[in-house]
Structures are given as C-alpha cells and as structure tokens.
Amino acid sequence: MAGRSLQILNGGNVSSSTVTSSGDAGKVEVRADQIYIDGKDSRFLPTGIFSYVDSGSTGEAGTVRVSANKVDVFHHGSISTSNLGIGDAGNVWVKADTLNLSGSSFISTTTNTGDGGAIRVQGDILNLHDSGIETTAHSPGGNGGDIDVQVDTLLLNTGLIQANAVSGHGGAIRLDVKTLMASGNTLNGKELGSGNPFAVGRNEPRWQPHQFGNNIIQAVSQTGVNGTISLSAPQLNLSGVLANLGAPDFDTGAISRDYCAIGGTSSLVVEGQGALPRRSRDLPLYGF
C-alpha cells in the first residue's frame, strides 16, 4: 500500500490466518508519507498493522514492513506479528524519520510455541512514551527474537525495550544510537552514568506504564540463558547539556577583565553612556 497518508482506527487491521487453518499468514508492507494508528476503541479490538496466526492454527506469521516519514502509534495501537498457534512469529521492520509510540502502544512479536520474530527500527527519532518494543517467546524452548534499533536519538519516557523468553534464550538487543535520553535520568532503576544500567538479570525491575523514570531495557529468560544487550551511545547523561541549551558559548571572564592592566600603553576614557556620544533620541530612553 502506498500513498501520502494512512490512518488506521477503530479496530482496523491487515492480515491474519484464522482458527483451524494450516497456512501461513501473509506478509504486510505499508509505505506512506505519514501513518497514524489509534488503538482506542470501545470494542477493545486490536488496531494496527500486523500479521498473526490465530490459536488452533498451524503456520508462520508473516513479515511486517512499514516505511514512512512519520509514524504515530497511540492508545494501545500496535505494529506487530504474533503466532497463537503452532509456528514462529514473523519479523517486523519499521523505517521512519520520526516514530512516536504513546499510551501503551507497542512494536512487538509474540509466539506461543516457536521463536519470537526479530524487530528492526531505523530512523532519526524514536520516542517511547509509556510504550515499548518487545519480542516474547512464551513456549518452553522458544527463543526471544532479536531487537535492532538504529536511530540518532532514543527518547525513553517510561519506555520499554525487551527481548524475553520463558525457558529458551533471551534475544539480543543492539542499540546503535547517538543520544539516549531517559526520563528521570534512570534506566533499569539506576541513574545513568553510575554503574552499569544495562546489567541483565532475572531480578530486574518490572515495567509498568505511567511510572515516571521506569525505563527498562532487558533481555531475560526466566529459566534459560539470558540474552545480551549492546549499546553504542556517545551521550548518555544529558542533564548538564539540557541545562545549557540555547545559551551562548563565550568567555564570561572577558566581561570583568581589566584591559588597562594588560600593557603600559593602554588607557580607558569614559565618554558617557556606553562610551558613545549622547544623541537627542537617547534622552527619553535614559531619562535625561
């Protein structure tokens, strides 16, 4: 599907393999300038772009590919693949200059019996506000999918990035970002810049939306082998940088420096207001 703008509302969705079927769910590819997904629906039906296999079916979930200048996903919306039957989840690939997820919205892959699908996100800005990116393998032996995020700026405002499994291997999370900003300056319950906020363990704090500073990145298996997390982010702690945004960069010592003392030939002559001759139009301004 190609076009300038796409809105998916009120339980709208794309591709599925229904109950008792034995085929694979189809692949889904959406390209547009702007994509808006709002999952708020009185019937509580899923809203989003996804490929899924229903319970009681046998087959693989398809791949979902989304490409746009801007993607907004709100109110429990999703871009996802899931397999509730027998088989693996499909992969998800999202490429957008700006990607906003808000209100418990997710990019996700889920499977009940097989392996979780991989997720790749590419773009300039990724904003996770009470939302997240996750791959989950619920079945014994199923491995969590890998998550690859390649963006200039990653904003976590109560955000979650998770590649978990029950007894299989946790997935691998790779974050290739230039800047990571986290609300409350905390990640996995630890302050950025103190210790290792990316330590992986089974006792990591649980994520819940609407808890300020509860930003979590984890790749955990409940009873199997934990996954791995790798990060390439030159700037982690931005509290000092943000305080100086917009301030001019100059030598404040130059304001009070005594230039007359620099050399014996220097002199200072006071001529009046601002060392400039007074003008008639200046009189009202300075109260003369």
pLDDT at residue number 272: 52
Measuring CA to CA, how many Å separate 65 from each of 6, 70, 87, 124, 281? 14, 14, 20, 17, 66
Q: How far is Cα 263 from Cα 244, in angstroms, rounded to an integer? A: 35
- In a 3-state reduction of DSSP, which class is residue 111? strand
CB atoms within 10 A of CB 242: 9
Average pLDDT of the chain is 74
**Residues paired with 153 in a beta bridge:** 125, 179
As a whole number of angstroms, the distance between CA 164 and CA 171 comes to 6
The 10s digit of each residue's pLDDT in 225-266 is 888 888 886 656 544 333 333 334 444 444 445 545 555 555
| 81-134 confidence digits (pLDDT tens) | 887 777 777 899 999 999 999 999 999 988 888 788 899 999 999 999 999 999
State pLDDT tens for residues 57-68: 666 777 899 999
pTM above 0.75, yes or no: no
Q: What's phi and psi for 263, nearest 5 deg?
A: -140, 160
